[in-house]
């Protein structure tokens, strides 16, 4: 029972930290970044990646060992909608992550990146979609946990 509670707790913390890190990215992005602001975004994205991995790993553990049994989840179409939403968020997050990783060389040299307004707008839009996904996934989880989707 304790392991189940810890897995659930870490799963929820992973979601909260993911959302917080994406919010930091969203609020920090602008065309004229300072070196400090640029590093903040890069670090927030790394924290996001770690937290999202925590969500994935604890989610798998919950399905296999600490939840209601894998049949409960895999037979429910809402579970698969939740998984698809997570995969979509993870896939679209590659664009900002790769962008921010490409900044590191310039940042180590002591210069912030120069961002055209169009790129800032595109990055913000992608992060908004990620945040929307991180709002939708717990809703799907709540529906699934209550057996909605099962016949």
pLDDT at 109 over 80: yes
Q: What is the reported pLDDT for 34? A: 95
- pLDDT tens-place string over residues 6-32: 999 999 999 999 999 999 999 999 999
Is 89 a domain residue?
yes
Is it the case that residue 146 has pLDDT exceeding 90? no
What residues make up the domain containing 130?
Answer: 2-145
**Tokens at residue 33, please?**
């970044």
Task: Tell me which residue of 136, 124, 138, 139 sits closest to 22, measured CA to CA.
Answer: 124
Backbone angles phi, psi at 68, to 5 degrees: -95, 15
Which of the four pLDDT bands, split at 50, 70 and 90, describes residue 145?
confident
Residue 150 lies in a domain: no
> Is residue 151 in some structural domain?
no
Task: Supply the pLDDT for residue 130.
Answer: 97
Here the tokens at position 22 are 């994406």
Query: What is the DSSP secondary structure assignment for residue 64, as one 8-state letter?
Result: I
Average confidence (pLDDT) over 38-50: 98
The total of structural domains in the chain comes to 1
The answer, yes or no, to whether residue 88 has pLDDT greater than 90, is: yes
Confirm whether 103 is domain-assigned.
yes
- Counting residues of the chain whose pLDDT is more than 70, the rounded percentage is 99
């Amino acid at each position: 029972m304790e392991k189940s509670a810890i897995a659930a707790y870490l799963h929820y913390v992973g979601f909260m930290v993911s959302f917080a890190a994406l919010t930091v990215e969203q609020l920090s992005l602008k065309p004229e970044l300072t070196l400090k602001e640029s590093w903040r975004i890069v670090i927030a994205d790394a924290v996001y990646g770690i937290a999202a991995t925590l969500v994935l790993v604890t989610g798998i553990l919950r399905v296999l060992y600490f939840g209601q049994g894998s049949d409960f989840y895999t037979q429910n179409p809402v579970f698969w909608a939740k998984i698809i939403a997570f995969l979509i968020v993870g896939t679209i997050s590659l664009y900002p992550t790769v962008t921010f990783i490409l900044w590191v060389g310039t940042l180590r040299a002591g210069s912030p990146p120069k961002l055209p307004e169009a790129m800032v707008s595109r990055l913000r839009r992608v992060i908004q979609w990620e945040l929307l996904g991180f709002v939708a996934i717990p809703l799907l989880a709540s529906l699934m946990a209550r057996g909605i989707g099962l016949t």
